[in-house]
Amino acid sequence: MNTTTYTVSATPSPFGGTKTKSQSITGTNNVTFDLGGLSAYDSYVGGNYRVNKVVVDFDDGEELVINRPLSATGIPTLSADTFTHIIESDFTDLAKRHVYFTLYRDDQEVDVIDLKFTVYKAPIEKYDNVNLLKTDYFSDDNNDEKLLLTFINKNPEVLGLSLLDKTFPSLPPPDNTSSFNTMICLPSTSVE
The pLDDT tens digits for 18-62 are 999 999 999 889 999 999 888 887 666 566 778 889 999 999 999
Question: Is residue 184 scored above 80 in pLDDT?
Answer: no
- pLDDT at position 54 is 93
**Contact (CB, 8 A) for 121 and 29:** no
Q: Identify the burial level of 112 via C-beta atoms within 10 angstroms of its C-beta, where 0-12 means exposed, 13-18 middle and 19 or more buried.
A: middle
How does pLDDT run across 84-97, given as a tens digit for each residue?
Answer: 999 988 767 788 99
pTM above 0.75, yes or no: no
Beta carbons of 56 and 66 less than 8 angstroms apart: yes
Average pLDDT of the chain?
80
Q: What is the 3-state secondary structure (H, E, C) of 148-190?
A: EEEEEEEECCEEEEEEEECCCCCCCCCCCCCCCCCCCCCCEEE
Rounded Cα gap, residues 42 and 48, in angstroms: 7
